[in-house]
Every structure is written in C-alpha cells, then in structure tokens.
Amino acid sequence: MNPPYQRLLDLRSLRDALGEFATGVAVVTARSADGQPVGVTINSFASVSLEPPLVLWSLGLQSPSLAVFESCSHYAVNVLAADQIGFSQRFSQSQSDRFAGIESGVGAGGTPILPGCCARFVCRNEMRYPGGDHVILVGHVESFEREEKPPLIFHGGRYRTLA
C-alpha cells in the first residue's frame, strides 16, 4: 500500500500559474442590513446552469464584506468594460465609501447597479459552499442586461483588453 500522496506547493508559483487563465473582471454589489452599499472586485465568476439560471463567484473568508454577502437577499454581478479599470481598483481597495461620486442604479433588494458595464446580473442569493479559504456563492439570476462593449480582462497579474 502506498502512503498518501502529499505535495507541498509553492503558493506564489501556484498563483502565477493560475494567473495564466485569462478572466473577466466584475464588481459584485449588495446592500447591507443597515442600508449601506457594499461592493467587491472579483474575477472568480462563472455560469453554472441556464435552467435554472445560476451563476457562481467566490469571496475570501477574510473579506470585511463577507457577512453582507452571506446574509443579503440579492446581489448584482457587474461585468466591467475595458474602460472601467478605475471601478476595479476602487472596489478592490479598502476605503470608507467606495460608491462616492458614482450614480448607481438600483436592482432587486436595493442592490446597487454600476453604470457603463458590459453586463449586469441581478441575483437572488441562493446557496453558499465552503471552498478552502473562500466561500463559493451561487446566485439565481432574476434579471440581466447586456451592452456591446469590450470587456476588461485580467491575465498574468495585469489588466488587458481584447485586441
């Protein structure tokens, strides 16, 4: 009988290798129980099912916004356009009011909707699963919008656009 296979990973090298998978960039938004808008930048977004319409994304266990996203009734996945690097940077940093100066729309459950995005998916907060140092959130898409704009891409630790 062989001993259990165990491999020590160089986490920086693993992260670099995972960075070879080009992704889109999105900002997930919700409203806290006290009515404050909350948003985080993500690149872990995927379609799960068309029938029913389900999407997933993940959020780190250390995120200050985790409690809001675990308890909110709805959230919006705002897929960023190539000209929205500023939104990506703003919602990935710690600052007190990430929504200052943004004229956001409002979706189900009071969910903030960012302007100028390629696509927006307003989702009912359906399921959550543990995923190592992250939580995997599954949303039931209740509405969506799409605009013909080039998307913002993240690859190799840098923002990129389609050629």
**Tally of structural domains, the chain:** 1
Q: How does pLDDT run across 120-140, given as a tens digit for each residue?
A: 999 999 999 999 999 999 999
Report the pLDDT value the prediction gives residue 8, as an integer from 0 to 100: 61
Give the domain CATH number at 75: 2.30.110.10
- Tell whether 18 is covered by a domain: no
- Tell whether 5 is covered by a domain: no
> Which residue range forms the structural domain that includes residue 65?
23-161
Ranges of beta strands (E only) in 80-133 are 105-106, 112-113, 119-131
Kindly report the pTM of this predicted structure.
Answer: 0.91
| Contact yes or no for 138/48 (Cβ under 8 A) | yes
Q: How does pLDDT run across 15-71, given as a tens digit for each residue?
A: 888 889 999 999 999 999 999 999 999 999 999 999 999 999 999 999 999 999 999
- Tell whether 6 is covered by a domain: no
- Tell whether 102 is covered by a domain: yes
Q: How does pLDDT run across 75-117, given as a tens digit for each residue?
A: 999 999 999 999 999 999 887 789 988 999 999 889 999 999 9
